[in-house]
Amino acid sequence: MLTVGVDIGSLTTKAVVLEDSKVIAHELVLTGESSREAAARAVQGATSVAGVDIGDVARFVSTGAGKSETPYEGDQATEVLSAVRGALFYYPSARTVIDMGAESVRVARCGANGRVVDFGTNDKCASGTGTFLDTIAKALELTAEDIGPLSLQAKEDILITATCAVFAESEVVGLIAQGKDKASILNGITRSIASRVYGLANRVGINKDVIFIGGGAENIGLRKSLESLIKQELLVPPDPQLTGAVGAAVIAQEKSKAQ
Amino acid sequence: MITAGVDIGSLTGKALILEDNNIVAWSLIPTNPDSSVTVQRAMDAALEKAHMSLDDLDYVVSTGYGRLVVPFAQRNVTEISCHAKGAHWFFPEVRTILDMGGQDCKAIRCDDTGKVTNFAMNDKCAAGAGRSMEVMADLLQVPLDDLGELSLQIVDAMVPISNTCVVFAKSEALSHLRRGKHRSDILAGVCEALATRVHSLMQRVGIESEFVISGGIAKNIGIVKRLTDKTGLTPRISFEPQVVGALGAALFAQESLRREQQA
């Protein structure tokens, strides 16, 4: 059976093609101004990589902030459910899923049956999200790829006191002016974000195994900081940015089978 | 009796020299990343205007978030007490003060002597602070001083901003701009959001006439006008709302000095 999951996030849109129990292709594009166009491009890209005809897709399921705006007929799934299903696809032992996206951070706890028991999100505030880190990376003139590894080379412990991303940016500018090294500043920022995510995870409850997904999971510094707070290893699936889309494709399969 | 108040905020540093009941001179400068430089420059600028030297000052009180790094201050007082005291000097009937600076916002209630009776404060989130105006001015390429006025010149209709977080609101404003919305209509939404947030902070302490606005935000007519509508009160604003805290500090310096002289 062929299904497609589309995750339309605030920053990037992801599509994956799932054939039975195998992800056979994916595509990641910038969301930009139109969610609908981004979804069309991502699906087009993924299906052409897979070499399948869009007409052969049994079902589409969309998720993410822009999930209601898709060019294809299909169902919608919540971000939380997609994250959990995606995590379980890679790790059947998953009981807690931490999903860090550009504008949202989500923690969900699930049972062995895959049912969501509890979840929490950041809701209104950029603190603890990917955007927070991007803002700081820009202030430090670094790219998103550099910041994880660099944050591990800190020379000293710097405590970032601001919660708000806007205030943290000013704080970072002050630290640069004091001549602090970028690695130590990044390390401080990373730990501050990790502690926000940890706070959220604690509210939801943390059960083993903990899976870390979303763009944030690609940041090694963040992963290590979170691991030291949670005192557990975090499992990261391949291409963690795609996990939500994979979950949506899994849900599409479940729905088709149920019919 | 010559005293001075030094108010070191997150974005600006202020110093004010008071001789008995007269403001002799004041300064207002942007902060330097090094607070001690800000302190020195603010004080020097005020002293120069007053044609005085540090030795002429009988007593100095510091306030603001950098109040602990003023080496020549004999005492420091919280900015909340200083704003109430300074506002009371300008407007003796004041009972409610809104002080909004770069990184925080305070709603303060005081009694008929200018003593603080209650306050509520936001210093955690930029959405309720002056910094949000700077971020938007920068994004929309509008001088900060013109932002308030522009926000009142609505062309089609106010564009409501639904995000609380300044980081998210910034992307929201940008997408409105790309869709061809007028800058002033977006600014109207931005100012409305800030005024609403500030008003709810004020409601937490209760709003009683007279109502004084101090801090940089008092220079933003877009916020002042909207707060006038929301509170139903005409806010009183001193000739230089950003030095109200420094004035309060200089007044505390007078009190301290008197006490020392009596002792």
Terminal alpha carbon distance of chain A: 13
Residues of A in contact with B178 (CB under 8 A): 33
Those residues with Cβ within 8 angstroms of residue A26's Cβ, 6 or more apart along the chain or in another chain: A14, A15, A16, A17, A46, A49, A239, A242, A245
> How far is the C-alpha of A89 from the C-alpha of A78, rounded, in Å?
16
Same domain, B221 and B97: yes
Same domain, B212 and B115: yes
Quick check: B131 and A170 CB within 8 A?
Answer: yes
> How far is the C-alpha of B64 from the C-alpha of A145, rounded, in Å?
39
Where in the sequence is the domain holding B18, given as residue range(s)?
Answer: 1-91+242-263
Same domain, B80 and B99: no
Q: How confident is the model at residue B178 (pLDDT cuts 50, 70, 90)?
A: confident
Quick check: B168 and A170 CB within 8 A?
Answer: no
Residues in chain B: 263
Quick check: A126 and B34 CB within 8 A?
Answer: no
Provide the token pair at A109.
């706890």
Query: Is A110's pLDDT higher than 90?
Result: yes
Contact B214, B103 (CB under 8 A): no
Query: Is A123's pLDDT higher than 80?
Result: no
Same domain, B175 and B258: no
Same domain, B207 and B78: no
Same domain, B189 and B134: yes
A131: contact with B, CB 8 A cutoff: yes
Closest CA to A239 of A14, A1, A82, A56: A14
Same domain, B8 and B76: yes
Quick check: A124 and B163 CB within 8 A?
Answer: yes
Q: What is the ipTM of this complex?
A: 0.80
Residues of A in contact with B34 (CB under 8 A): 177-178
Write out the residues of chain B at the interface with chain A, using a CB-CB cutoff of 8 A: 10, 33-34, 103, 124-127, 131-132, 135, 163-168, 171, 175, 178-179
Same domain, B191 and B167: yes
- Number of domain units in chain B: 2
Residues of B in contact with A178 (CB under 8 A): 33-34
Minimal CA separation from B168 to chain A, in Å: 7
Same domain, B86 and B97: no
What is the structure's pLDDT at B35?
86
- pLDDT tens for each residue of A212-257: 999 999 999 999 999 999 999 999 999 999 999 999 999 999 999 9
Those residues with Cβ within 8 angstroms of residue B207's Cβ, 6 or more apart along the chain or in another chain: B96, B231, B233
> How far is the C-alpha of B61 from the C-alpha of B72, rounded, in Å?
9
Same domain, B107 and B233: yes
Domains and CATH numbers, chain A: 1-79+241-259 (3.30.420.40), 92-236 (3.30.420.40)
Same domain, B115 and B224: yes
CATH number at residue B102: 3.30.420.40
- pLDDT tens for each residue of B140-149: 999 999 999 9
